[in-house]
Structure 1
Amino acid sequence: MGQKPSVPRPGTKFQVIGAGLPRTGTASFSSALEILCDGPVFHCGTQATLGPTAQIKQWMEILRRWLAGSESDREIMFNVLRSQLDGYAAVTDSPGAQFVPELIQLYPDAKVICTIRDPGSWETSMDQVRNATVPWYLSLVLLPLPGLMWFIPYLRLLAAQWERLYGEAIPTRHTYERHIAWLKEVVPEDRLVFFEVKDGWKPLCEALGKEIPKDRPFPHINDSDAIDEISKTHVRRGLARWGVILAVGAATVAWILRR
């Protein structure tokens, strides 16, 4: 998790709504949930960048309908959201963390668990993510890659949702604090758990009523390294695809001129 997409498993019971923002240990949290819940976990960042093209396009549809806000849009949004998460035991990361009220309606028995960290270090970490996704050339580089050609428009929709929820599209420590306050408003107190991944198995297992796995260390995935590697991999893939496109184009032009 964090570097490899999960595959849905039909019949899997949905158990956990991950309400933590990106860069709060969501990759480690997701891997731990896969073990405890015995099922695939939908880590939104991973699925959007490495999963099937249909998944990022479905999130775009969900976000557009949420932003539109009419009754008919919300009905469609709920249907697409349910379809997106069918076969998964949990969802983590954004934009899942921004759909907590809707997910509570869809999964009334699911536990809501918010991964947390120091707000100041979170802001610094989010700056790293933003710097990796805003270079002017990124849209062009990703254009030949199925799925990722939609990544920048997807980020714009996500930013629009964050601006509406938190009052700012560019994350700051205030975004983090507003998110925590918002969760306390929209989630019943007996369903909301705050969890720091550095605390390991014990508090998480207690929250879920699960036994601590024997001989299984708590997974610790470095989100920063994972994001950097994924970003570099996609840029390399995009440039390679452009190289092929340009080479084929040049060969075609040369063939036409020789005729």
Structure 2
Amino acid sequence: MIPIPDPVIHYLYGLPPPTSNKRKEPMQVLAVGISRSGTDSLRNALHILGFEHTHHGFDTILPPSSLEGIYRLLQKKYNTEPIAGQSSKLTAEDFDTILSDCVGVSDLMAAEFALELIAAYPNAKVILNTRRDLESWYSSMQQTMGYFDKNPIDWDWFKSWFSADLFWIRQTMCRTMMPRFFRGSFHSNGKWVYEQHIALVKGLGLSKDRLIEWSVEDGWEPLCEFLGKSIPQQEFPDGNPPKAWAERISNTMKTHHERAIRNMLVFGACLIGTLVASVGAYLRYLSPPEQ
């Protein structure tokens, strides 16, 4: 398939920009573990502790209002020259186009831009949320985020060209973020990329008061101690099992798919109308009225 230039993509499928990209509160928490490492439970826990709002993948997919902006960040990260005198191509101003209303960020976006986020927000605490069982993590990813590891030319692919929301889910997640992060294929490279990501963050040499390695099994105590918060009386939030993840995505995506089908029908009706009018004009041209 011939790639479409970015200016054309943004012209055809541009979504309304954020109402504001001016940060209201300092960024406080960067949870840079990969998806399915307790990201949803951790995000909910951070909200309970007062770090609200913490950005999560659900903020991009449900609805996909920030995916176009994330795509721009990915393009700047991978397709632009380094900035002289700067360790990162991306700055806090770049990230605030997506995260200006957030005091925390988690899930795949945080993992994808982990090094850049850590450099952009030097005062934010860093949580490296991990999953102790690599095989369980891989299986959970296959059942959930594995959906974005594929870009088959199927009915959903066809519909994505008739809905800006569906288009950016496909363009950002399936065609850019997942293949970039997992070096071409989650199925083939997921496990070693996961291990490399953990080693990369730990290898930054951040101090213990800035970085903690944590898993859901650790619960409240080490997390609260690290963040300087009192331990809540309630139990640690439940996880987000694959079945619940799929249902949540499906229920919301239904609206996008319905809009795409509506747009397809309108486009088809206009196309047929144009063809009928053109054929009629051509036939009249071939058979001019008798004088």
Calculate the TM-score normalised by the size of structure 1: 0.81
Give yes or no for contact 1:20–1:114 (8 Å, CA) kept in 2.
Answer: yes
Give yes or no for contact 2:31–2:127 (8 Å, CA) kept in 1.
Answer: yes
The Cα offsets for residues 157-210 of structure 1, whole Å up to 9 and x where unpaired, read as 2134325xxx55324221211111111112514222111113321121111110
User: Which letter does structure 2 place at the counterpart of 1:157?
Assistant: T
Q: Which moved more, 1:144-153 or 1:57-66?
A: 144-153
Q: Does residue 201 in structure 1 map to residue 201 in structure 2?
A: no
Give yes or no for contact 2:220–2:231 (8 Å, CA) kept in 1.
Answer: yes
User: Which letter does structure 1 place at the counterpart of 2:243?
Assistant: D
Match of 2:76 among 65, 87, 90: 65
Aligned length: 247
Identical-pair percentage: 28
Larger Cα Rg: Structure 1 or Structure 2? 2
For 1:69 and 1:136, the matched residues in 2 are separated by 29
Summarize the Cα distance change of 1:116–1:240 in structure 2 as closer, same or farther, 3 Å threshold: same
Whose helix fraction is larger, Structure 1's or Structure 2's?
1
Match of 1:232 among 247, 250, 258: 250
For structure 2, list consecutive stretches of 5 or more residues without a partner in the other structure: 1-19, 281-291
Summarize the Cα distance change of 1:239–1:69 in structure 2 as closer, same or farther, 3 Å threshold: closer
Match of 1:3 in 2: none
CA RMSD of aligned residues (A): 3.1
Shift of residue 236 of structure 1? 3.0
Match of 1:119 among 134, 153, 160: 134
Summarize the Cα distance change of 1:193–1:157 in structure 2 as closer, same or farther, 3 Å threshold: same
Match of 2:26 among 5, 8, 13: 13
Give yes or no for contact 1:26–1:92 (8 Å, CA) kept in 2.
Answer: yes
Shift of residue 251 of structure 1? 6.4
Q: Which moved more, 1:92-101 or 1:112-121?
A: 92-101
Give yes or no for contact 2:166–2:256 (8 Å, CA) kept in 1.
Answer: no
Give yes or no for contact 1:58–1:80 (8 Å, CA) kept in 2.
Answer: no
Give yes or no for contact 1:25–1:223 (8 Å, CA) kept in 2.
Answer: no
Q: Does residue 173 in structure 1 map to residue 187 in structure 2?
A: no
Summarize the Cα distance change of 1:147–1:186 in structure 2 as closer, same or farther, 3 Å threshold: farther
The Cα offsets for residues 11-33 of structure 1, whole Å up to 9 and x where unpaired, read as 23321111110011101100111
Shift of residue 249 of structure 1? 5.7
1:88-107 correspondence runs (5 A): 88-107=102-121
Calculate the TM-score normalised by the size of structure 2: 0.73
